[in-house]
Structure 1
């Protein structure tokens, strides 16, 4: 088997700074897109299906938007501190984000009780999970 030696790419401090600024911009755009999409869906659910549907959609989306925002804040602070992000840091952060989302989902179910409108809840969650597609479509990510 022919194995080639692959050298690591060395980035200049300017390149690192430019890439960090671009990453921060994209991360913030993602959270803003998720929030705007959630607001639109929640308002539509409220108008067409009532207050509890609107609140359920909003709560469903927030169960993922809150941990995502916390994770983005962590990544942005890491970029601003000029520390390199590692794959381990990213995967641990993702695991924590998913765990927090699951806890928030449980709490929403407990608080809303029988008033929770499940389809609206899942639509709100799905909209936040897939809001990045809007950024890809409009070439903003």
Structure 2
């Protein structure tokens, strides 16, 4: 399939918009999870939820921004960059979760940490609910 320059620019603009919206929605869901956990179960739960969400959000945001840079690179993104970035993102998420457990020890509120992680993982659902993801 061969795209014209205008079609390529339209695809790149849409990809950029959807990528930034997804990162924003995941960050928003992470903050909401932390605030709700803080309000329901106290500061330790809020920090645990924020840590759990951050363990996924930080590597994912870095990966998303890397993909965003590839949109503007001559030749565009390639599958190897995507695969390597995805593997790196998952590895960093596991490493951050391990570090949270190691540092947090007995202060971690596990249900809040897991809810924060889940909210960050499923942040794009917020976009699907409001039909902002095409």
TM range, smaller chain: over 0.9
Unaligned ranges ≥5, structure 2: none
User: Counterpart of 2:43?
Assistant: 51
Structure 1 segments, 4+ long, off by >6 Å, are none
TM-score (norm 1): 0.91
Rounded to whole Å, the distance in 1 between the matches of 2:23 and 2:115 is 17
Give the secondary structure class of the aligned counterpart of 1:11.
Answer: coil
Unaligned ranges ≥5, structure 1: 1-8
Rounded to whole Å, the distance in 2 between the matches of 1:83 and 1:39 is 36
User: Counterpart of 2:34?
Assistant: 42
State the 1:11 CA deviation: 0.3
Rounded to whole Å, the distance in 2 between the matches of 1:65 and 1:83 is 28
Work out whether 1:72 is the aligned partner of 2:70: no
Work out whether 1:110 is the aligned partner of 2:102: yes
Alignment of 1:77-96 (within 5 A): 77-96=69-88
Structure with greater Cα Rg:
1
Between structures 1 and 2, the one with greater helix share:
2
State the 1:139 CA deviation: 1.0
Rounded to whole Å, the distance in 2 between the matches of 1:135 and 1:69 is 16
User: Counterpart of 1:98?
Assistant: 90
Rounded to whole Å, the distance in 2 between the matches of 1:83 and 1:124 is 37
TM-score (norm 2): 0.95
Alpha-carbon RMSD: 0.9
Rounded to whole Å, the distance in 1 between the matches of 2:92 and 2:80 is 18
Aligned pair count reads 133
